[in-house]
Amino acid sequence: MSSSSQNLQYSPSTSNMNTINNNNNNINNNEEENITCYVRCRPLNSREIELNANCIEISKDKKSINLKNYEHNYTYDKIFPAETDQKTIFQEIGLPLVKKFLSGYNSTIFAYGQTGTGKTHTIIGPLESLFDDNNDNFGLIPNILNFLFNNKEEATNIIRSSSKEKAEKIENRLFSKLCLYRNISRAFN
């Protein structure tokens, strides 16, 4: 990938086939955008610190990564540096997707990366944090579930505004699964 990379934009075509279109517009300003790509950098471990093994440079606008000692520059919708906390990840990625989901849109968070790069930490958080009622180390899933439990009325209003017919069906499924999750997590306390 060259330093003048293009953003790929997914959009459904008029026939029922899906296409990927090259688009040089800013992805975050396009409300019709369906796919966004984020990178979360994990902190260096003690061995990496000892070896001074930091191999990336993040641009000031937090949209591209340069691999040191290589001529590779990769551009993303947003890059979260190593010091980014779990709440920020939830506020900027998880919460907007949950609100769109509750409005009737499909939402997926897909974590991809090499072993040891922090996927589980981002999605779930440390295992011991799952048993606390309020923990800053919660990953995306526990934060999303806590949002839904703590904001049931707001979640219900979002669902109802999208379609009254779908609302009851979604509400019943969603909150029965949330109650099951809550009961299971309390059983381990």
Give residue-wise pLDDT tens across range 76-110: 999 999 899 999 999 999 999 998 888 778 888 99
Q: Do 33 and 50 fall within a single domain?
A: yes
Q: Do 41 and 78 fall within a single domain?
A: yes
Domain of residue 124, residue span: 85-189
Q: Do 80 and 95 fall within a single domain?
A: no
Which range has the worst mean pLDDT, 35-44, 140-149, 172-181?
A: 172-181
pTM exceeds 0.85: no
Domain boundary among 59, 84, 109: 84
Between 146 and 60, residue with greater pLDDT: 60
Domain boundary among 61, 84, 107: 84
Pairing outcome for strands 78-80 and 7-12: unpaired
Domain boundary among 84, 108, 132: 84
Of residues 10, 63, 17, 6, the one with CA closest to residue 34: 10
pLDDT tens digits, 50-75: 998 888 899 999 999 998 888 888 99
CA distance 6 to 123: 28
